[in-house]
Amino acid sequence: MAKRRYDSEYMKYGFLYIEDKREGPKPQCVVCSEILARESMKPSKMKRHLETKHSAYKDKPVEFFQRRLTEQRTSQQCLTSSCSKQEQALRASYLVAQRIAKSKKPPTIAEDLILPAAIDMVRELLDQSAKLKTIPLSNDTISKRIEDMSDDIQQQTTARIKASAHYALQMDKSTDIASHAILLVYVRHVWEGDLQEQFLCTRDLQTTTTAEDIFSSVDLYLGSVGLNWDLCVGITTDGAASMTGKHSGVVKRILEKAPNATWQHCFLHREALAAKDMVPVLHETLKDVIKAVNHIKEQRAPGFFKSCAKTWAVSTYRCCIMQKFAGFRGESAVITEYASLATHAIKIILPFSTTYLCESGFSALVQLKTKQRNKLNIEHDLRVALSTITPDFETLVRNKKHPQLSH
C-alpha cells in the first residue's frame, strides 16, 4: 500500500508534518503540538482532531494556523538560543575557575576583579558588556567549579593509571600555615607511549604523623579509587624516620603490600646530607659548578642542560634500557618483539629519583593556603593547579542539567 504524503492543503486543518526515520512523515498539530500516528495522515482524521480538541479554531482561516506555526518556531528558536547562551556562560565560568586555580588565587578574585575588568574592556572595545554579566562567577560558584574540575581530573588520572601496567609513587610531608601536617603524593605511569607524572592526592594528617598514619591515609585513598598495590613498582621518599624506619616505616609497610616495588631515597636529600660535612675545597668546587649550571640556564641552552641533568640523574644502564626497549619515542615494534624485556625496562624507569614534584607542590600550597584562607581544604585547588590533565569541559557542562545565569 502506498504511503500517503503530506499536502500543503492540510494546513487549513492546523497540521504540518514531522519526518520519522522509520515510519516516514507524521502529522503534527500546530495548536497543541501533538503528533498523530502515520495512519492519521488523512483529511478526515485531521479535521476530527481539530473539531474535537480545538473546536474554537475550527472556522479559522489557513492564515491563522500559519501564524501559529511561525510563533511556534520562533519560540523554539528562542528556547534553543537561551539554552545555548546558558551553556556558553557555564563553560566560561569553568574556564575562569581553571585559570584562577592555576594561578593559585582565591575564588573571590573572579567577582571582585576579573569580571569587572572584563566588562570594562569589552565595553570600551566592543560596546557590549551585558552578556558578561550573565557568567556565574561568585565565590561559591567558582569554588564549586574547581571541585567539579578536580573530580573530573581525578577520574581521568585514575583511569590512566589503571590503563598502565605499572605505576610509581613519590611522597613527602610538610606543614601548612595552620601548622597542619600535609602529605603530598605524585604518581608516574605510562600513557599513550610516554611517561606521565601527575599529582595524585593530598592527605591531611589530622592527629599524628606516624608511619601508620601516613600509610593508612595513602592506602585508604588508593582503595577508594580502585588502585591496586600490586601494580606499584616504586616508592620515593626522603630519609625521615617515619618514612624509612626499618621495622615500621612507611616504606616498610608499602613494600609488604607491594612486593614488586623498590624504594628510592631522594638523591637531593642525600646530597644535602652529604654536603653537611663537606670539606671547604669541595664546597668551593660545587659552588663553581652551580654557577656554571646557572649560566647555561641563563643562556637558554635547554638541550645541553637537559642532557647534563639526565646524565647526572640517570645511570648509564637505565638510559641504555630506556633508549633500547622502552619505546617512548615511537619504537612500539621493539616493545612487541621484546615484550618481557620492555616490561622489565619500564619497571626500572618508572620510579622517581627525587621528591622534587612534592617540593614544588608545597610551594603551591604556600600560595594557596594563606593566613586569610587557613581553613581551606586545598586538595581540589591543588589538583587543578598542579595537574597537566585538561578537564573535560563538555561533559561538565552537559552534566549540569539546569545551568543558571547570573542576574
pLDDT confidence tier of residue 232, bands split at 50, 70 and 90: very high
Beta-bridge mates of residue 181:
175, 205
User: Are residues 93 and 135 in contact, defined by beta-carbon separation less than 8 angstroms?
Assistant: yes
Pairing of strands 181-191, 167-175: antiparallel
pLDDT for residue 219: 93
Domain boundary assignment for the chain: 8-60, 146-396
- The three-state DSSP-derived secondary structure of the chain is CCCCCCCHHHHHHCEEEEEECCCEEEEEECCCCCECCHHHCCHHHHHHHHHHHCHHHCCCCHHHHHHHHHHHHHHHHHHHHHHHHHHHHHHHHHHHHHHHHHHCCCCHHHHHHHHHHHHHHHHHHHCCCCHHHHCCCCHHHHHHHHHHHHHHHHHHHHHHHHHCCCEEEEEEEEECCCCCEEEEEEEEEEECCEEEEEEEEEEEECCCCCHHHHHHHHHHHHHHCCCCHHHEEEEEECCCHHHHCCCCCHHHHHHHHCCCCEEEECHHHHHHHHHCCCCHHHHHHHHHHHHHHHHHHHCCCHHHHHHHHHHHHCCHHHHHHHHHHHCCCCCHHHHHHCHHHHHHHHHHHCCCCCCHHHHHHHHHHHHHCCHHHCCCCCHHHHHHHHCCCCCCHHHHHHHCCCCCCCC
pLDDT for residue 99: 92
> Quick one: average pLDDT of 156-167?
92
**Residue from 178, 233, 184, 181 nearest 357 by CA:** 184
pLDDT for residue 332: 56
The lowest-confidence range among 115-124, 226-235, 296-305, 343-352 is: 296-305
pLDDT for residue 161: 94
Q: Taking CA 152 as the corner, what is the angle to CA 370 and CA 396, rounded to the nearest 5 degrees? A: 105
pLDDT for residue 153: 95
> Quick one: average pLDDT of 258-287?
79
pLDDT digits (tens, 9 = 90+) for 329-384: 445 566 667 778 878 888 888 999 888 899 889 988 888 888 777 767 788 999 99
Residue tagged 616490561 (cell numbers): 343
- Give the residue, 52 or 81, on which the prediction is more confident: 52
pLDDT digits (tens, 9 = 90+) for 82-127: 557 788 888 889 999 999 999 988 888 998 899 888 888 888 877 7
- Residue 317, pLDDT > 90, answer no
- Give the residue, 93 or 134, on which the prediction is more confident: 93
Rounded to the nearest 5°, which phi and psi values hold at 96? Answer: -65, -40
**Rounded distance between C-alpha atoms, residue 253 and residue 211, angstroms:** 8
Mean pLDDT of the chain: 81
> Quick one: average pLDDT of 306-333?
48
pLDDT digits (tens, 9 = 90+) for 183-224: 999 999 998 878 899 999 999 887 778 888 899 999 999 999
**Has this prediction a pTM greater than 0.75?**
no
Rounded to the nearest 5°, which phi and psi values hold at 202? Answer: -125, 140
- Residue 149, pLDDT > 90, answer yes
pLDDT for residue 313: 43
pLDDT for residue 328: 46
User: Rounded to whole angstroms, what are the CA distances from 175 to 43, 116, 180, 366?
Assistant: 80, 36, 5, 10
